[in-house]
Amino acid sequence: MKKWQFGMSMTVAVAMLGACGPDRDGVMEELETEPATEENKPDSLHIWVNDDERELLAYREIGDNFEAETGIEVRITPFSMGDQLEAMSLDAPAGGGPDLFYQPNDMVGSITLQGLAADIELTPEQEAEYLDGTLEALSYEGELAGVPAAVETYALFYNTDIIDEAPETIEDLEAIGEEYTNASANEFGFLLESREMYFAYPFYDAYGGYIFAEEGEDYDTLDIGLANDGAVKGGEMLQRFHQEGYLPQNLNADILNGLFLDGSVGAVFSGPWNIAEYGENLGDSLKSAPLPTVDGNPMRSLGGVKAWMVNGYSDHISWATELALFMTNEESAQIFFENKREIPARAEVTLDDELYEGFQEQLEHAYFMPNVPEVSAVWGPMGDANVFISQGNDVREVLEETVELIEDEIQIMGAGRE
């Protein structure tokens, strides 16, 4: 399954937040201010690329281009993005690890607190090259932890053999559920993995729920809005979808994908990571669209930014930064898209497939996941809450108890940093 990876377990998160590396402030300050010159140019730079064959193909070509332009060899190690941070925490302070590693924005707070990523400084011209909101999503306490490479969110895929057009409103979506669902025959009007907070978030957000209150560019992690009246209303809607039979129990990505590919579902909440497989199976019947509106307002999906981060302990911070910028420039971003088919974090890249249009439109309404370390305390408890809600438990009671649990875990995380 290739949907967004949410981060670490609480045990790992607390341990990592409590860990403190050696004091490198003086050395890092000197390295960061030293520009990339012929005199300090390394023979090679080492990068960890997510262990995906299409991604590796893209960055091998991009690395060869960088070497042709600079004379610096780019050494690539395939390394699953989900495993990189733990390895960085162990290796980097001891002088190991790569010059560049690859992580999603919801890990930025933890990465910054550990000093694993160098603070990147961009010129205004460079900042303007990346999609709105991506740099903010990668910034924590005034430091930019990474250079945006890809963005993603989910939207609607729909099968025109079943429904003629995408539902524009939440009422339209529910009507599709009512008309096309025959649960005994495993036929459904629409599906989403409602137990995953990633996909359930738009319902809580639509009526005024929120993860953390926002204060300018910061988050108040003591103000959790997942049990307020709006969140309860959103949870009650999800519960009703289950009670009406529109959403089955124990639905996961494999089941959802299988039913949609079999032509048994009208529409699904899913992401661009499924475009290739869906397209191969459904052909011209496959279309994409943004999520429906609620009370006239677009539903906000959760979004993410994946970025190249410079190892804060690298001996080649300036040149590693140059490589990160090169790997995300317009030409490299086009190579990345042509191989990986993920949406680059640059507006000028041509996405030569109309199936991306729904996702590009939805990105305008996406809410990039909070990047504070405390967000890792949210996903597990809210996933459990969604299961309890789907089973018919009192929504308000479930959410209030869940928020208390999240608050307790955040307190533990705070103690781990002391």
pLDDT in tens, 101-118: 999 999 999 999 999 999
The model's pTM: 0.88
What pLDDT shows up at residue 74? 98
What pLDDT shows up at residue 20? 42
What pLDDT shows up at residue 33? 52
Distances (CA, A) of 78 to 73, 81, 173, 240, 360: 16, 9, 41, 44, 29
Alpha-carbon gap, residue 242 to 248, rounded angstroms: 6
Q: Give yes or no for residue 16 having a pLDDT over 60.
A: no
Average pLDDT, the chain: 92
What pLDDT shows up at residue 142? 92
CA 45 from centre of chain: 26
Mean pLDDT of 116-122: 97
What is the share, in percent, of the chain residues with pLDDT greater than 90? 87
Q: Give yes or no for residue 19 having a pLDDT over 70.
A: no
| Band of residue 417 on the pLDDT scale cut at 50, 70, 90 | low
What pLDDT shows up at residue 279? 95
Q: Give yes or no for residue 2 having a pLDDT over 60.
A: no
- Cβ neighbors of 302 (< 8 A, separation 6 or more) are 4, 153, 154, 198, 201, 202, 366, 367, 368, 369
**Computed over its alpha carbons, how large is the radius of gyration of the chain?**
22
Domain ranges of the chain: 10-152+303-366, 153-302+373-417
Alpha-carbon gap, residue 321 to 309, rounded angstroms: 8
What pLDDT shows up at residue 405? 98
What pLDDT shows up at residue 159? 98
Q: Give yes or no for residue 30 having a pLDDT over 90.
A: no
Long-range pairs of 18-23 with CB within 8 A, sequence gap ≥ 24? 18/416, 18/417, 19/89, 19/114, 20/114, 21/92, 21/93, 21/114, 21/115, 21/116, 21/313, 22/93
| Band of residue 7 on the pLDDT scale cut at 50, 70, 90 | very low
> Quick check: do 10-152+303-366 and 153-302+373-417 share a fold?
yes
Architecture of domain 153-302+373-417: 3-Layer(aba) Sandwich (3.40)
Taking Cα atoms as reference points, which of 312, 395, 360, 410 lies closest to residue 21?
Answer: 312
Q: Give the number of other CB atoms < 10 A from CB of residue 412.
A: 13
| Band of residue 215 on the pLDDT scale cut at 50, 70, 90 | confident
Q: Please give the structure tokens belonging to residue 260.
A: 């949609």
CATH code that applies to domain 10-152+303-366: 3.40.190.10
Q: Please give the structure tokens belonging to residue 218.
A: 């910061």
Taking Cα atoms as reference points, which of 314, 299, 235 lies closest to residue 34?
Answer: 314
| Band of residue 38 on the pLDDT scale cut at 50, 70, 90 | confident
Identity at 177, one-letter amino acid code: G
Pairing of strands 188-191, 265-270: parallel
Pairing of strands 367-368, 302-310: parallel
What pLDDT shows up at residue 32? 46
Q: Give the number of other CB atoms < 10 A from CB of residue 132.
A: 10
What pLDDT shows up at residue 28? 44
What pLDDT shows up at residue 10? 38
